């Protein structure tokens, strides 16, 4: 009340000097009455204008557009009203009243106008506050912060997965604030939403993540940190989508980020994740986007990019930022085997493997080798210890040599591959016809996300696949029988190729259910959990081979204790073009605890892409499980959506 009182006192200054001090009391009551009246007036106008049902007000509270939707913010302290999370009118009423609070000396920044600057800005715009009756606080910290932010626009940043890390194949999104006077994108602020946890990935981590066990928060940092973390250490290519938000919209969005410092959100990996929350933030900047309502069940980061780029005028341009590994590959793609050998020897020992040859090269050739060797050193170091330590003697030696050459680096000219948002849809439905040892069947398949090795490749990381909640149903007309053929809770394959320079591990992991054939018992749905490690390498320009050692756990009541173990191996050849993929794969394993026996299978799969979101697939399998050998053929049409 102090501020209001002071303001009134100023307006009545002449009276103050004329009238007796005893009248001061009645004067303040008069002003307080005027203020109370103004508060009531604002509340009434807000109700008449239906501000509390306005999409912007709901967006500021992170509520869906339906009146039944509650806020996604889960920290009570964000709300002024105890009912604020589900009653926008109650929160609105208290918000208006709070703006009249007096300022506590020394705690100006904690005034509600400063704590809720986006609410204040929007309500002021709607209700045109009378600054005599509702004085505007200066909020100097906020103004200084906003000046430093210098907002001019927004870029949505999508670090895609790293080939040998498909557990993050869903990717990630964050925002970068474009600055009016910004000369370096590395120094621009970035807005990130992440779960707050120190736990390492594992079963507990995954379950807590799936069911909202972690709080998620917005944070603002330096974009250079994101480039280093994703591009240099995790080796993920980064796509920067410059969006059509204006400077004013960006400024308002930042005001809202500022007020979200009091907010935490239960973090759900599948739906209410980083990408979902960033869309909600963008809707605050521009409510007419209305993209949250168009979100499918799972907020796959690339789908949120697709939603945004589909808005007319929203996509202003895309910048591709290759990862360190991509830069290394680009620099060495034309190198001979001998050149690559010398790059590796420099990266490992700081010396050329063949000094005579090295000395025969000119400075420009030596500079290219040393640039690649520095990249390789940092790549190896990041893979080994998860960070870059420049003080390593080999690195110091390489840079000193490179500096003495006094040669400008070759320009890095990386053209963007097909963008992730231009790849096939993340959902997939399939219908197929087939023969199971001569018995005809019809097969239906559905997979919400994301990509397997036989799906169309453009826009996705080559050699990496992740299927989540994939289901196949089969109907056998002759037997009038419908059954679940397989369920993939999670199926990950990463066939990262080794070459002369990098030696990543290939690996696979799967948890799911399959129909398995048992002698005398027919097909039975069997739980399977499998993991495997190995290597993959290029054989020709279009053919690669791979081999993995695998361990598998089976669960079915046919086994003693209900469990069985298979140790085995899988090997195959892959080939593919942008529109065609082919795999020939052999698998063999020994089952230990049930009819100790060998299981094996041979698979031949071809896929032909007939349109951006349609492909045909033929699969022929000869296999032996816990019965005699069988042959199966399936021909399917797949639709990506």
Partner 1 sequence: MRHLLYSLIGLALSSFLLTGCGTTSAPTESSTNTTDKTVNATTDTTSSSTPGKSSSTARAEQFTRVNFASVQADIAVGSGEHLAALAVLLDVPPENEERFFSLARERYAVLYATPETDAGLMLARLNYAMAADPELGR
Hey, which residues between 40 and 79 contact partner 1 (CB under 8 A)? none
Least distance from C-beta 522 to partner 1, angstroms? Answer: 26
Cβ–Cβ under 8 Å, residues 117 and 124: no
Q: Which stretch binds partner 1 (CB under 8 A): 69-77, 182-190, 415-423, 433-441?
A: 182-190
Hey, which residues between 504 and 523 contact partner 1 (CB under 8 A)? 507, 509, 511
Give the residue with the Cβ less far from partner 1, 23 or 186: 186
Best CA proximity match to 603, nearest among 569, 566, 572, 638: 572
| Residue 551 found at the interface with partner 1 (CB under 8 A) | yes
d(CA 451, CA 44): 54
Cβ neighbour number for residue 138 with a 10 Å cutoff: 14
Member of 26, 67, 288, 406 binding partner 1 (CB under 8 A): 406
Member of 52, 122, 230, 241 binding partner 1 (CB under 8 A): 230
517: three-class secondary structure by DSSP? strand
Q: Which stretch binds partner 1 (CB under 8 A): 17-25, 190-198, 285-293, 307-315?
A: 190-198
The site for partner 1, by CB under 8 A, has a size of: 101
Hey, which residues between 581 and 620 contact partner 1 (CB under 8 A)? 592-593
Hey, which residues between 358 and 387 contact partner 1 (CB under 8 A)? 367, 371, 374, 378, 382, 386-387
3-state helix, strand, coil in the chain (%, to 5): 35, 30, 30
| Residue 403 found at the interface with partner 1 (CB under 8 A) | yes
Member of 396, 416, 479, 500 binding partner 1 (CB under 8 A): 396
Q: Which stretch binds partner 1 (CB under 8 A): 78-86, 288-296, 428-436, 526-534?
A: 526-534
Q: Which stretch binds partner 1 (CB under 8 A): 46-54, 71-79, 394-402, 607-615?
A: 394-402
d(CA 189, CA 199): 27
d(CA 330, CA 502): 13
Least distance from C-beta 326 to partner 1, angstroms? Answer: 15
φ, ψ (nearest 5 deg) of residue 633 = -130, 130
Q: Which stretch binds partner 1 (CB under 8 A): 131-139, 181-189, 329-337, 580-588?
A: 181-189
Hey, which residues between 247 and 306 contact partner 1 (CB under 8 A)? 257-258, 260-261, 267, 269-270, 273-275, 301
| Residue 450 found at the interface with partner 1 (CB under 8 A) | no
| Residue 153 found at the interface with partner 1 (CB under 8 A) | no
Least distance from C-beta 139 to partner 1, angstroms? Answer: 12
> Hunting for tokens 């990381």 — which residue is that?
461
Spell out the residues 6+ positions from residue 587 whose beta carbon is closer than 8 angstroms to its own.
550, 568, 569, 570, 571, 600, 601, 602, 603
Hey, which residues between 454 and 483 contact partner 1 (CB under 8 A)? 468
Give the residue with the Cβ less far from partner 1, 233 or 308: 233
Least distance from C-beta 364 to partner 1, angstroms? Answer: 12
Q: How far is CA 603 from the centre of its chain?
A: 33
Least distance from C-beta 353 to partner 1, angstroms? Answer: 22
Cβ neighbour number for residue 437 with a 10 Å cutoff: 11
314: three-class secondary structure by DSSP? coil
Q: Which stretch binds partner 1 (CB under 8 A): 50-58, 80-88, 563-571, 613-621?
A: 563-571
605: three-class secondary structure by DSSP? strand
Member of 23, 24, 127, 194 binding partner 1 (CB under 8 A): 194
Member of 156, 492, 502, 607 binding partner 1 (CB under 8 A): 492
State the maximum Cα–Cα separation within the chain, in Å, rounded to a whole number: 110
- Give me Rg for the CA atoms of the chain: 31
Member of 552, 582, 587, 599 binding partner 1 (CB under 8 A): 552
Q: How far is CA 541 from CA 19, 251, 254, 445, 627, in A?
A: 96, 50, 48, 33, 40
Q: What is the DSSP string of 12-79?
A: THHHHHHS-TTHHHHHHHHHHHHHHHHHHHHHHHHHHTTGGGSHHHHHHTTB-SSTTPPBS---GGG-
d(CA 437, CA 435): 6
Q: Which stretch binds partner 1 (CB under 8 A): 1-9, 90-98, 559-567, 574-582?
A: 559-567
Q: Which stretch binds partner 1 (CB under 8 A): 57-65, 88-96, 127-135, 142-150?
A: 142-150
């Amino acid at each position: 009340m102090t501020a209001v009182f002071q303001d009134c006192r100023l307006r009545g200054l002449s009276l103050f000097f004329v009238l007796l001090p005893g009248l001061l009391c009645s004067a303040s009551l008069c002003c307080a009455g005027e203020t109370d009246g103004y508060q009531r007036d604002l509340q009434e106008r807000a109700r008449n204008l239906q501000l509390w049902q306005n999409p912007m007000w709901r967006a500021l509270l992170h509520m869906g557009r339906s009146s039944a939707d509650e806020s996604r913010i889960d920290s009570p302290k964000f709300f002024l009203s105890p009912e604020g999370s589900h009653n926008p009118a109650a929160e609105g009423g208290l918000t208006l009243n709070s703006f009249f609070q007096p300022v506590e000396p020394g705690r100006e920044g904690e005034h509600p106008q400063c704590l809720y600057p986006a609410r204040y800005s929007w309500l002021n715009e709607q209700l045109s506050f009378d600054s005599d009756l509702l004085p505007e606080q200066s909020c100097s910290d906020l103004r200084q912060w906003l000046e430093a932010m210098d907002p001019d626009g927004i870029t949505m940043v999508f670090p895609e997965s790293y080939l040998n890390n498909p557990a993050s194949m869903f990717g990630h999104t964050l925002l970068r604030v474009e600055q009016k006077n910004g000369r370096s994108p590395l120094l621009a602020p970035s807005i990130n939403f992440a779960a707050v946890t120190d736990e390492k990935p594992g079963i507990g981590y995954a379950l807590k993540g799936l069911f909202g066990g972690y709080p998620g928060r917005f944070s603002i940092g330096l974009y250079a940190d994101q480039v280093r973390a994703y591009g240099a250490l995790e080796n993920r290519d980064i796509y920067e989508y410059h969006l059509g938000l204006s400077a004013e919209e960006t400024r308002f969005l930042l005001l809202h980020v500022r007020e979200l410092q009091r907010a935490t959100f239960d973090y759900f990996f599948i739906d209410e994740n980083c990408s979902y929350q960033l869309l909600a933030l963008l809707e605050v900047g521009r409510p007419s986007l209305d993209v949250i309502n168009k979100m499918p069940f799972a907020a796959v980061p690339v789908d949120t990019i697709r939603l945004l780029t589909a808005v007319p005028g929203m996509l202003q341009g895309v910048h591709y930022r290759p990862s360190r590994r991509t830069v290394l590959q680009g620099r060495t793609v034309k190198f001979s085997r001998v050149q690559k050998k010398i790059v590796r020897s420099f990266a490992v020992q700081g010396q050329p493997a063949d000094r005579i040859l090295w000395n025969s090269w000119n400075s420009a050739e030596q500079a290219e080798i040393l640039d690649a060797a520095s990249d390789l050193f940092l790549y190896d170091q990041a893979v080994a210890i998860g960070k870059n330590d420049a003080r390593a003697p080999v690195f110091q030696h390489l840079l000193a040599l490179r500096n003495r050459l006094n040669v400008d680096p070759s320009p890095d000219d990386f053209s963007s591959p097909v963008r992730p948002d231009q790849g096939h849809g993340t959902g997939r439905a399939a219908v197929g016809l087939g023969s199971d040892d001569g018995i005809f069947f019809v097969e239906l398949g559905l997979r919400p996300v994301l990509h397997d090795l036989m799906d169309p490749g453009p826009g996705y990381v080559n050699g990496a696949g992740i299927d989540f909640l994939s289901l196949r149903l089969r109907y056998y007309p002759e037997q009038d029988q419908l059954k679940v053929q397989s369920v993939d809770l999670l199926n990950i394959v990463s066939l990262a190729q080794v070459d002369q320079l990098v030696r990543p591990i290939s690996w696979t992991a799967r948890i799911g259910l399959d129909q398995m054939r048992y002698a005398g018992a027919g097909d039975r749905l069997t739980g399977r959990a499998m993991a495997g490690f190995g290597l993959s390498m290029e054989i020709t320009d279009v053919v690669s081979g791979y081999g993995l050692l695998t361990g598998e756990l089976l669960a079915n009541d046919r086994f003693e204790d209900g469990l069985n173990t298979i140790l085995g191996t899988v090997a195959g050849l892959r080939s593919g073009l942008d529109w065609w993929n082919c795999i020939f794969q052999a698998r063999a394993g020994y089952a230990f605890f049930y009819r100790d026996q060998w299981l094996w299978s041979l698979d031949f799969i071809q896929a032909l892409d007939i349109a951006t979101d349609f492909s045909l697939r033929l699969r022929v399998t000869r296999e032996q499980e816990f019965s005699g050998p069988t042959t199966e053929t399936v021909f399917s049409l797949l639709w990506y959506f």
